[in-house]
Chain A
Amino acid sequence: ETGVTQTPRHLVMGMTNKKSLKCEQHLGHNAMYWYKQSAKKPLELMFVYSLEERVENNSVPSRFSPECPNSSHLFLHLHTLQPEDSALYLCASSQTQGFIYEQYFGPGTRLTVT
């Protein structure tokens, strides 16, 4: 978790709300990731940004909208979510040059949709 911060740590929102999750990495990495982790399910990769360009979008519903303004910051904008979107959302960063180095994860945002 060192070097990657996420805010907020906990978020409760109604289905009609709009909120954003923020991730910041202080490691000088060139790739950032959003994952969703639901109970009893494997980690789901949502988005990958490499050199600030989105290079992966794993069929994520449009109610999730990522933004990567620079190599250190990553946002996940949320709107009109569903209760099944309640989960732990994890941000990670890594260096990717020829192969993938280890990923460094933030502590996660625990999201509850009511």
Chain B
Amino acid sequence: SQQGEEDPQALSIQEGENATMNCSYKTSINNLQWYRQNSGRGLVHLILIRSNEREKHSGRLRVTLDTSKKSSSLLITASRAADTASYFCATDVLYNQGGKLIFGQGTELSVKP
């Protein structure tokens, strides 16, 4: 089963509007990360929030984390056409020799000029 699931699956907004994407997960985490992917390219790390943090900002990005609800949200303010991309949340699983991230299905964001 998916550890991280994003909502909505697709979002279309006008330039200048805010975009909010949500992520839910199932198990305890150490941190939650958000990534961005432009069509057919590799993922780019946007922001990491640790399990003891509730909110984090980076430029036009604001991430919140609610560990009691096992959910996170990514807010992009004053969106631009260049923000058009897929956005993924990822949660970590640790084990003796290493660790891995489990990615959600992603939200496709389209920002129209």
- The smallest C-beta distance from A26 to any residue of chain B, in angstroms, reads 15
Interface residue stretch chosen among B18-26, B61-69, B77-85, B103-111: B103-111
With beta carbons under 8 angstroms apart, the residue of B2, B92, B95, B97 that contacts A42 is: B2
Residues of A within 8 A of B44 (CB): 1, 105
Hey, what's the 0/1 contact readout for A93-105 against B, CB within 8 Å counting as 1?
0001001111111
Interface residue stretch chosen among A14-22, A46-54, A78-86: A46-54
Q: Is the CB of B45 within 8 A of A103?
A: yes
Q: Is the CB of B95 within 8 A of A108?
A: no
Hey, what's the 0/1 contact readout for B22-47 against A, CB within 8 Å counting as 1?
00000000110101000011111100
Q: Is the CB of B42 within 8 A of A107?
A: yes
CA of A55 to CA of B99 in the docked complex: distance in angstroms? 9
Q: Is the CB of A1 within 8 A of B101?
A: no
- The smallest C-beta distance from A5 to any residue of chain B, in angstroms, reads 10
Any A CB within 8 A of the CB of B13 = no
Also in contact, A88 and B100, with CB within 8 A (given A43-B88, A103-B45): no
Any B CB within 8 A of the CB of A74 = no
Interface residues of A in 38-80 (CB under 8 A from B): 41-43, 45, 48-51, 53, 55-56
The dominant DSSP class at the A interface is: strand
Also in contact, A90 and B100, with CB within 8 A (given A43-B88, A99-B94): no
Q: Is the CB of B100 within 8 A of A56?
A: yes
CA of A108 to CA of B39 in the docked complex: distance in angstroms? 11
List, sorted by A's number, 30 A–B pairs whose CB atoms are closer than 8 Å: A1-B42, A42-B2, A42-B106, A43-B43, A45-B102, A48-B100, A49-B98, A50-B99, A51-B97, A53-B97, A55-B97, A56-B100, A92-B43, A99-B30, A99-B31, A99-B50, A99-B92, A99-B99, A100-B31, A100-B92, A100-B94, A100-B99, A100-B100, A102-B48, A103-B33, A104-B45, A105-B42, A105-B43, A105-B44, A107-B41
